Amino acid sequence: MKVFEGRYYRGKWKEVELETKVLNGKTFARIKDKDNNNYNYGKIQPIFPSSPGYLVRDWQERDLDTNTQQLNLDLTKDFKTWRVEHNLQYGSSYNTTMKRMVNRAGYDATDVQWWAERTLGTKTEYLPKLREVPETCENTSSWNAFLCPRVDPEFSYLLPIKTTGKSVYLFDNVVITDYLSFDLGYRYDNIHYQPKYKHGITPKLPDDIVKGLFIPLKGSPSTEEVKKNVQQNIDYIAKQNKKYKAHSYSFVSTIDPTSFLRLQLKYSKGFRTPTSDEMYFTFKHPDFTILPNTDLKPEIAKTKEIAFTLHNDDWGFISTSLFKTNYKNFIDLIFKEQRDFKVGPGGGSTLPFSSLSKYK
């Protein structure tokens, strides 16, 4: 084949030969461009665009999988006791939920053009003897998203959590007269959280978050001691099985003094368990970081309410109410401390979920 060989500002067409070389199992060809006097390459140079011939694509993806199985049994019964009417609703529920998160990240190349390099080339090794060896993604000092795409190890901000919930409930609408009725409700919940972590299989939590979190890291630890402490803290979180049991109830008194006015007095006690996210979730960010808290208590809410309703068959109804809710062990994010993480040059505020003793 003919190429244009240049020397300073002059050049000429020249017939050249190709030499082939096998690199990493692939055969590549190049123009023989060797001067017999000085054994230097460089008289023949390709003219390519200045770009590397591809676009770098940094990618991230997150899978949040929730698998729920639920069985409900709901029954109703209408009956009378003397002149009192009852509309009874009762039943039970059983459910299991498996929740897991997987984060993946990496980089590769897209929109690859014809002039993009197809090989990393060779490099010279001096030990144990002088030799020329092919460069690979493992031993190269260069960075090439096209030839050496990367997928980082999977990680997660949430250990796989299995939640088992059992409940029974009873509700009765008691009608005394046309002017007076009561609603009585009761519910019992039993909820169990079980982390399902398998070392080496389950994606890990970020090291910087969990190291020293529950099991302290003393002194100036070595790299191996840090790795051991990280695993100890992950194992500690994975062993935090939590069970919650609670009774909830409600009472509503309904009075209809006239055909267009309804007055209701309500009192209820509610119960909410901490969610798996609030107890086990970790999140790492340069601006803020969320830490897990497996010591959360169930949130209790007691509500008092009075409601007035004006109603008419022709124009509809207008309702207004006044209520007050007192919370015990209210679950919310709180600021804990300032800490530096490797995710950025600045510090990030750590924000764990916490149970506040009283909240209104």
Residue 265: per-residue pLDDT: 97
Mean pLDDT (whole number) for 177-201: 94
Residues 250-304: tens digit of each pLDDT:
999 999 999 899 999 999 999 999 999 899 988 777 677 788 888 999 999 999 9
Mean pLDDT (whole number) for 113-135: 84
pTM for the whole structure: 0.73
Residues 311-352: tens digit of each pLDDT:
988 888 999 999 999 999 999 888 877 766 554 344 445 555
| Average pLDDT over all residues of the chain | 86
For the chain, give the percent of residues with pLDDT over 70: 89
Residues whose CB is less than 8 angstroms from the CB of residue 243 and which lie 6 or more positions away in sequence, other chains included? 190, 191, 192, 193
Residues whose CB is less than 8 angstroms from the CB of residue 226 and which lie 6 or more positions away in sequence, other chains included? 207, 211, 217
Winning range, highest mean pLDDT, from 42-51, 112-121, 340-349: 112-121
Name the phi and psi angles at 26, rounded to 5. Answer: -120, 145
**205 is written with which tokens?**
């939590």
Q: In the chain, where are the structural domains located?
A: 1-47, 48-359
Mean pLDDT (whole number) for 10-14: 76
- Report the 10 Å Cβ neighbour count for 162: 17
CA dist 41 → 2, 31, 166 (Å): 17, 10, 78
34: confidence class by pLDDT, cuts 50, 70, 90? low
Residue pair 19/32 in contact by the 8 Å Cβ criterion: yes
3-state secondary structure of 211: coil
Residue 37: per-residue pLDDT: 46
113: confidence class by pLDDT, cuts 50, 70, 90? very high
As beta bridge partners, residue 189 has 167, 246
Which of 100, 99, 104, 101 has its CA nearest to residue 61?
Answer: 104
**Lookup result for tokens 């401390």:** 337
Higher pLDDT, 293 or 73: 73
